[in-house]
Amino acid sequence: MGKKIAQIKDLKVGKYVLIDNEPCKVTSVVHSKPGKHGGAKARIDAVGIFDGQKRSMLGPVGQNIEIPIIDKRTAQVLNIIGERVQLMDMESYETFELEKPPDLKGELSQGGNVLYMDVMGKRKILQVL
C-alpha cells in the first residue's frame, strides 16, 4: 500500500517501522538523555516482517521516520500445492499464491479461511481463522 511519516519518539514496542526500506516490527526502543551539547537520541531494534532479519537504527527523537501502512484481510484457501497456498481474497475475489508458513503447515486446509497482511505489495499469511 503505502507509508506515512511519524517521529521516533512516537514509536513503541510492537509497532511497525521501515528500516532500509523493509517493513519491520519494533522489538525495543531505548531513549538516552539529552547531553550538554546535543539532544536526546533513541535506538530502535526491529525484526523484518518478511525476512526475519534483525535491524536497528539510531537517531534524534525528533527525527521523522516512515511507518508502513499494513492492510490485514481475510482470504479463503482454494488449493494447497506443495509449499504454496492458493488464496482468494474475500472482499475483492482476487486469487493469488503465497508461501506456506512453517508454523501453520498442519492447520491449513482447503476451504478454510486465513488472515493475511498486505504491506507495500508483499503478502504474508498470519493465522488460520
**Residues of the domain holding 113:** 70-128
Q: For residue range 35-91, list pLDDT tens digits in order.
A: 888 889 999 999 999 999 999 999 998 999 999 999 999 999 999 888 899 999 999
What's the CA gap between 5 and 67, in Å, rounded?
Answer: 6
User: Are residues 77 and 51 located together in one domain of the fold?
Assistant: no
23-37 confidence digits (pLDDT tens): 999 999 999 888 888
Residue 86: CATH number of its domain: 2.40.50.140
Q: Do both 64 and 97 map to the same domain? A: no
**What is the total count of domains within the chain?**
2
Residue type for position 4: K
Same domain? 60 vs 84: no
